[in-house]
Copies of this chain bind each other. A is one copy, B any other.
């Protein structure tokens, strides 16, 4: 089975052809889940490609979780191409209530950790975004205020000292931005209403007061949460 025999005009991107071939072979069931692929030298002959080309293709599929390469043992088929959906895409087709519920959970844990682990540089960034938020509200620039608000909360997430948590929160915040924008324009009193709560949150993080940070955030989320769940209804 030589890949290059049935190819198109372009001999370039040979690695891509090997990737597609292996993917379709796995999908077609030529390789069962859990079965072992042929060893590299044999696969080289079967596919008619060099070692580098084959290894780059296998590495891509392994990094995507489709294959598992075990040094000294072999290469095994692990899964079909199912878990490949990006989180942002998954959230976009979810209910706002559910996304917000998880975001609330993440946010509470974030402020708790941030109060414990924040560094001085984190605090400076937070102060800057809070100032931007205040200035934007004074100038009646709702969009800028929302951006500053999100940036502030992302800065808090960064201060939590957990990159996975921060990444997760950023994705949630970005997804919810649309809904939040509608919320802020629907009642721009909310922005200034939570201004003092933001100040209190920053103060709690500054003084390492985790319980106060959680309490303040709970109050903050409740104000917005009520409106969000109303939006969901219709």
Of the candidates B12, B89, B105, B163, the one whose C-beta lies within 8 Å of that of A64 is B89
Q: What chain B residues lie within 8 Å of A65 (beta carbons)?
A: 88-89, 92
Q: What chain B residues lie within 8 Å of A71 (beta carbons)?
A: 12
Report the separation of the CA atoms of residues A65 and B63 in the bound assembly, to the nearest whole angstrom: 13
Docked-complex contact B165 and A98, CB < 8 angstroms: yes
Interface residue A90 (Cβ < 8 Å from any Cβ of B) = yes
Docked-complex contact A102 and B164, CB < 8 angstroms: yes
**Number of copies of this chain in the oligomer?**
2
Q: What chain B residues lie within 8 Å of A12 (beta carbons)?
A: 71
Docked-complex contact B163 and A98, CB < 8 angstroms: yes
Q: Which residue of B lies closest to A112 (CB)?
A: B105
Q: What chain B residues lie within 8 Å of A188 (beta carbons)?
A: none
Q: What chain B residues lie within 8 Å of A167 (beta carbons)?
A: 82, 90
Q: A52-B52, A101-B162 are in contact. Are A83 and B88 (CB under 8 A)?
A: yes
Interface residue A151 (Cβ < 8 Å from any Cβ of B) = no
Most buried by B among A19, A63, A89, A105: A63
Q: What chain B residues lie within 8 Å of A170 (beta carbons)?
A: 82
Interface string of A140-171 (1 = CB under 8 A from B): 00000000000000000000001111011011
Of the candidates B16, B90, B164, the one whose C-beta lies within 8 Å of that of A164 is B90
Report A87 CB to chain B, min CB distance, Å.
Answer: 4
- Stretch from A30-38, A54-62, A195-203, A210-218 forming part of the interface with B: A54-62
Interface residue A75 (Cβ < 8 Å from any Cβ of B) = no
Interface residue A181 (Cβ < 8 Å from any Cβ of B) = no
Q: List 25 A-B contacts (CB under 8 A).
A: A16-B63, A52-B52, A52-B55, A55-B56, A56-B59, A59-B59, A63-B64, A64-B64, A65-B88, A65-B89, A65-B92, A82-B170, A83-B86, A83-B174, A84-B88, A86-B87, A87-B90, A90-B164, A90-B167, A94-B164, A98-B164, A102-B162, A105-B105, A105-B106, A105-B109
A-B contacts besides A83-B86, A83-B171, 10 pairs, CB < 8 Å: A15-B59, A16-B63, A65-B88, A82-B171, A83-B88, A84-B88, A98-B164, A101-B165, A102-B162, A105-B165
